[in-house]
Amino acid sequence: MTTRSSGKIAFVVLRDGTGYVQGVVSKQEVAPEIWDAFRQLTQETSVEVTGSVRADERSPSGVELTVTGLDVLGSGTDFPISPKEHGTAFLFEHRHLWLRSRRQVAIMRVRHEVVQGIRDFFHERDFTLVDTPILTGSIGESAGTLFETEYFDLGKAYLAQTGQLYLEAAAAALGRVYCFGPTFRAEKSKTRRHLTEFWMVEPEVAWNDSDDNMRLQEDLISYIVARCLDRRAEELKELERDATGLERVAPPFPRLSYTDAIAKLGELGADIQWGQDLGGDEETLLANAYDRPLFVYNYPRAVRAFYMKQNPDDPRTVLNNDCLAPEGYGEIIGGSQREDDHDLLLDRIRELGLPEETYGWYLDLRKYGTFVHSGFGLGVERTVGWICGIPHVREAIAFPRTMTRLYP
């Protein structure tokens, strides 16, 4: 609710959660107490109004409301966020109120569409949702960045960094499965791409190899982007998102092997050697050379997780891929074919000094009816950030968690 008025006529922008409409009061046509109450309304006061709706071409909503009755339900006096500029720290400290701004409402609606779109995509393709545990004894990615909690008499539990290992068990039962929940990284990272708590969707498919896996990824991303362009055009407009880049997102995405990527990065002037992982800067440099998302595949084994399948054609590498979003957004997906050979997997677990006993159940999957399978993880906030064209992932989630923020 925001107001402005002249001596005889007053305007107020009303918001009800479905949209915005301008209300107008004419001094001549209402009782003096309504005129006075209306003129005294302040930003974010909650009200009940009565009146008549009429078409108005000048209005973005297509209508205007001539207000004849007004009940003030809750005052908005001294609402901390005014239309003037505020610093980022101030806004995040008041995130619970900042969410009411048009821009934040638009981002939340795009996020909703992305999430519902992802679920519909998998539901329509006969995937079964399998919610994987957050409290785990096993470690998915890297031990250095785990949140831990005391777990009754069982010692420590860790907050899951991925549901993948559990999903592999479910894929043996149900074929095509996915999980979709919050994941956690206790990383002391302050980049614009990192949160300590973020949502990730992870499909896992029996009998898919790394190539099938990339095809599923490009289908999913293309579906999500097309759906947002179709159903959230108004929100993207509110966000002043130039949609030209998004309109180009369609399969097939360009594919570049890691080895070719290193060569290409050399040509582009980057100082990187075969064997090193790509950092954010290298990803941006590469992704900017393409006008749609890019797959980089078959990374060196040494810089990727223990569960990825060794490449039979080049054992220095694994059958994996990252997907890099264009326009400087970088990695939004990491995926791989999984090591389905029991002995190779056990060797790798030992080589990395991982706690073997907590992976007993995971090794069982290779012992009893092992099978080719692949999957990936898509980060929701990075995807929403890219689609919305916002610079930092922390605006892509309602209550972001970073190493310096746990409130509100």
Q: Which 304-343 residues touch its own copies, going by CB under 8 A?
A: 340
- The CA distance from 321 to 31, in Å, is 68
Nearest 5°: the CA angle 201, 154, 181 is 10
Q: Give whichever of 53 and 398 is closer to its own copies, judged by the CB atom.
A: 398
**Position among 142, 260, 364, 391 found at the interface with its own copies (CB under 8 A):** 364
Q: Least CB distance from residue 97 to its own copies, whole Å?
A: 6
- The CA distance from 235 to 369, in Å, is 48
Q: Least CB distance from residue 68 to its own copies, whole Å?
A: 20
Place of tokens 């746990």: 406
Residue 110 has φ and ψ, to the nearest 5°, of -65, -45
Q: Give whichever of 11 and 399 is closer to its own copies, judged by the CB atom.
A: 399
Residue 368 is classified by DSSP as S
188 binds its own copies (CB under 8 A): yes
Compute CA distances 61 → 5, 14, 23, 53, whole Å. Answer: 20, 11, 12, 11
Place of tokens 């599923």: 216
Q: Give the range of 245-253, 309-317, 331-339, 368-376 binding its own copies by CB under 8 A.
A: 368-376
Distance of CA 345 to the CA centre of its chain: 31
181 binds its own copies (CB under 8 A): yes
Q: Give whichever of 275 and 408 is closer to its own copies, judged by the CB atom.
A: 408
185 binds its own copies (CB under 8 A): no
Give the count of residues interacting with its own copies (CB under 8 A).
Answer: 93
234 binds its own copies (CB under 8 A): no
- The CA distance from 375 to 338, in Å, is 8
**Position among 32, 52, 83, 407 found at the interface with its own copies (CB under 8 A):** 407
- The CA distance from 308 to 339, in Å, is 5
Contact 81, 115 (CB under 8 A): no
Q: Least CB distance from residue 135 to its own copies, whole Å?
A: 5
Judging by beta carbons within 10 Å of its beta carbon (0-12, 13-18, 19+), is residue 7 exposed, middle or buried? exposed
Q: Give the range of 51-59, 217-225, 347-355, 363-371 binding its own copies by CB under 8 A.
A: 363-371
Q: Least CB distance from residue 168 to its own copies, whole Å?
A: 9
16 binds its own copies (CB under 8 A): yes
- Three-state SS at 352: coil
Q: Give whichever of 220 and 286 is closer to its own copies, judged by the CB atom.
A: 220
Q: Pattern of binders to its own copies over 132-171, x per CB under 8 A?
A: xxxxxxx--------xxxxxxxx--x-x------x--xxx
Q: Give whichever of 5 and 370 is closer to its own copies, judged by the CB atom.
A: 370
Q: Give whichever of 273 and 407 is closer to its own copies, judged by the CB atom.
A: 407
245 binds its own copies (CB under 8 A): no
Q: Give whichever of 201 and 256 is closer to its own copies, judged by the CB atom.
A: 201
Q: Give whichever of 54 and 112 is closer to its own copies, judged by the CB atom.
A: 112
Q: Give whichever of 95 and 309 is closer to its own copies, judged by the CB atom.
A: 95
CB atoms closer than 10 angstroms to residue 211: 13
List for the chain the helix, strand, coil content (%; round to 5). 35, 25, 40
Instruction: Report the DSSP pairing between strands 330-337 and 320-325.
Output: antiparallel
- The CA distance from 334 to 144, in Å, is 19
Instruction: Evaluate the omega torsion of the peptide bond into residue 252 and state whether it is cis, within 30 degrees of 0.
Output: yes
Q: Which of residues 71-130 bind its own copies (CB under 8 A)?
A: 73-80, 94-97, 99-100, 104-105, 108-109, 111-112, 115-116, 119, 123, 126, 128-130
